[in-house]
Amino acid sequence: MTPHSFERRAVIVQRVENGAIGVAVVVLVIAIGQPWWWLVAAFLLFDISAAGYAGGPRLGALLYNAVHSYVGPAILVIGSAALSLSGHDVPWLALVAACWTFHVAVDRALGYGLKLQDFAHTHLGRIGRRTA
């Protein structure tokens, strides 16, 4: 197996894995009785982070990657669970985390990974049309 084919297979595994996470989020949201359509309604909100590219590729990648990571949603889930355990039920916080997780998962399943030197180069490979 060549290094290139190994990298390609790893990208496919990551994309399938993230697709499974996206489906799991939909099932979970429905199972806990939250409106599933919020996942779709809030989907593009997280792409506002790409506006950072107006300040240059470095700032753009930094903001985009901060929002397109699972760290933020994980912090919200931990916060929601901690509040719930202390007697403060805040179901909307878990729903925001689910929407955020769904966005990241779908983006990665479609090949939009964490940004490297510019918007087109990601940890999942190059996106968009190649220029000649």
In a domain, 82, yes or no: yes
Name the residue range of residue 11's domain. Answer: 3-123
Give the Å distances, CA to CA, from 66 to 28, 60, 90, 106, 120. Answer: 24, 10, 24, 16, 17
Residues in the chain: 132
Domain count, the chain: 1
In a domain, 129, yes or no: no
In a domain, 36, yes or no: yes
In a domain, 130, yes or no: no
Q: What is the pLDDT along the chain (132 residues), one digit of tens a residue?
A: 676 787 889 889 999 999 999 999 999 999 999 999 999 999 999 999 989 999 999 999 999 999 999 999 999 999 999 999 999 989 999 999 999 999 999 999 998 888 887 777 778 877 766 654
In a domain, 128, yes or no: no
Give which of 128, 127, 78, 130 is closest to 101, Cα–Cα.
78
In a domain, 7, yes or no: yes
In a domain, 49, yes or no: yes
Whether the model pTM is above 0.85: yes
